[in-house]
Structure 1
Amino acid sequence: MTEPDEVLDNLAQVSFAVMAHLSQVAAAHELSLTQLRVLGILRDRTPKMAELATHLGLDRSSVSGLVDRAVRRGLVLREASRDDGRSVRVSLTPAGVELARELTAEAARAMAPLTSGLSAADRNRLGVLLGRMLA
């Protein structure tokens, strides 16, 4: 296998492992992986519905259904946007904030084995490289 093929193969394998861990964490709380992503996105921002759809790569009607389910569970609030009365912003409720914290901690524990064989310097470097890939 050539080096670029090995990088691609390893990246795919790591992606699958991360998705499996995150799916297990979500399922333990009766959430889908996409609902987990919604809570993760809302941890540090209150986007408009259209912005949330862009973050998720989904159409607005799909996001509306996701948000409806989260509202029914008491995890998310919809509020009229202060800067644009036609828009709706989405934010976490206190229960949503608490669940997001819990999910973050569980995800960190679930994924720790993936990086446990790396030195602190390697983990830092991996974080930098992954950040550059996503930029």
Structure 2
Amino acid sequence: MQNKPTAESPDAGIEGIEDLGLVDGLAQLSFLVQGALGKVAAEHGLSVVQLRLLGVLRDRTPGMQELAHHLGLDKSSMTGLVDRAERRDLVRRTPAPHDRRSVLVSITPQGRQLARQCEELADRELRDLAAHLTDAQRARLSLLASAVVNRHTRI
């Protein structure tokens, strides 16, 4: 005997939904997420990569190489990205205390304020994507997304 989905079960409300498959489902979900983040970035005169930069710098002060690795950029792209953000007074570079040849990147007060504004808007946009799901489905989606990200993130 099969249990019927309840309003709070992970399967509630998904009967009759076409399964896109793992690859198409994840790819199309990433397009939706990138579109939402692109909208947030554009509303603040940022690129998605600049938005990601501010997000990374909210709670850490990495070196340029670590930052490039985290954002998936080469050295010259990373330098250009930080140059543009520095001109807008969103980030600052300082010599690393342990190695004067290395540079640390930190967020400025203006960058932190912009990051907070973007975070609030991104929170709304991304929650809207999953607003039709039940609480249990959102919790499960969060856990599954965390499992994938934690398995593949090394920073």
User: Which TM-score bucket, shorter chain as reference?
Assistant: over 0.9
CA distance in 2, matches of 1:83, 1:101: 30
1:10-59 residue CA offsets vs partner (Å, 9 max, x unmatched): 11111101111111111111111111111111111110000000001111
Query: Does residue 1:43 correspond to 2:58, yes or no?
Result: yes
TM-score (norm 2): 0.81
Query: Does residue 1:55 correspond to 2:70, yes or no?
Result: yes
Aligned counterpart, 2:33: 18
Query: Does residue 1:71 correspond to 2:86, yes or no?
Result: yes
State the AA in 2 paired with 1:47.
P
Unaligned residue ranges in structure 2 (runs of 5+): 1-18
Identity of aligned residues (%): 52
Deviates more, 1:118-127 or 1:11-20: 118-127
State the AA in 2 paired with 1:44.
D
Aligned counterpart, 1:96: 111
CA distance in 1, matches of 2:104, 2:139: 34
CA distance in 2, matches of 1:118, 1:89: 41
Q: CA deviation at 1:70?
A: 0.5
Structure number with bigger Rg:
2
CA distance in 2, matches of 1:128, 1:83: 38
Q: CA deviation at 1:121?
A: 2.2
Unaligned residue ranges in structure 1 (runs of 5+): none
Alignment of 1:79-118 (within 5 A): 79-118=94-133
Q: CA deviation at 1:80?
A: 0.7
CA distance in 2, matches of 1:121, 1:95: 37
CA distance in 2, matches of 1:87, 1:81: 5
